[in-house]
Amino acid sequence: MSEAVPPPIHGAAVSATVELLDRERLMTLGCNGPDGWPHVSTVGYMNEGLNLYFVIARSSRKLAMLEADPRASVAIRSESGADGDAVGLSMAGRVVEVTDPVAIARLDLKVAERFPGVHVYAPAGDTVAVLHFTPSRVSAVGVVDGRSVTQTFTLGEPGGAISQIF
pLDDT value at position 158?
Answer: 44
Output the CA torsion 110→115→116→118 (10° steps).
Answer: -110
pLDDT value at position 95?
Answer: 97
Segments of the chain scoring below 70 in pLDDT: 1-11, 79-86, 118-125, 143-144, 156-166
Is the four-CA dihedral 154, 155, 160, 162 of positive or negative sign? positive
Query: How far is 16 from 123, CA to CA, in rounded Å?
Result: 27
pLDDT value at position 127?
Answer: 85
Q: Is the pTM of this model over 0.95?
A: no
Query: How far is 59 from 10, CA to CA, in rounded Å?
Result: 39
pLDDT value at position 111?
Answer: 85
Q: Judge whether 164 and 113 are in contact, CB under 8 Å.
A: no
Q: Judge whether 54 and 44 are in contact, CB under 8 Å.
A: yes
pLDDT value at position 157?
Answer: 46
